[in-house]
Structure 1
């Protein structure tokens, strides 16, 4: 009886671990990889790849969305956030000294609506 109880308990723990790992992969890892691939494609499509000095993929805890923080070689004092706003369109927001840039003359990589 004890062996059967121990076997069932171990089987349940293994099942919970497998389900947890699968959920993590599908909710976080796959989404991050897809967003990274799409942002890399955006940078390549606009010929920005060679200008990238630093790129970091981050997750916004409020919206649970991933975005890229990018610094370009020709504008090292500006920091840009590239957000995927749907299935393919991207929004690029620029910041200089922590203040959002609204003028394309100051931040040439921003997208303005």
Structure 2
């Protein structure tokens, strides 16, 4: 029991030293609420790179896989990962895989074209 008491005492001393060094400030709950609202607001919108990509696909009806690879590389990722990211973001709205690769082309699933158009228009 003496060892436990000594250990607790040393732990308390360590905690006191750390509090003294970094401060014992309590976070302002108002800041947390504001940060949560900002995060929620940001999550509600498509990221700019995705909106531009979707506009391009909507305008042309499809894009070549090579063009898609270039866009993905410009965004710092590989094509499949980029398409997966776009589909993941769109899943929040459409609840299904939206961007598909057919042959040598990347396109929006025909069933969801109007939904994506509406989404992109609302994001502008």
Q: Bin the TM-score by the shorter chain.
A: under 0.3
TM-score, with length taken from structure 1: 0.27
**Which structure is higher in helix share?**
2
TM-score, reference length from structure 2 = 0.26
Larger relative CO (CA 8 A, sep 6+): 1 or 2? 2
Q: Report the structure, 1 or 2, having the larger strand content.
A: 1
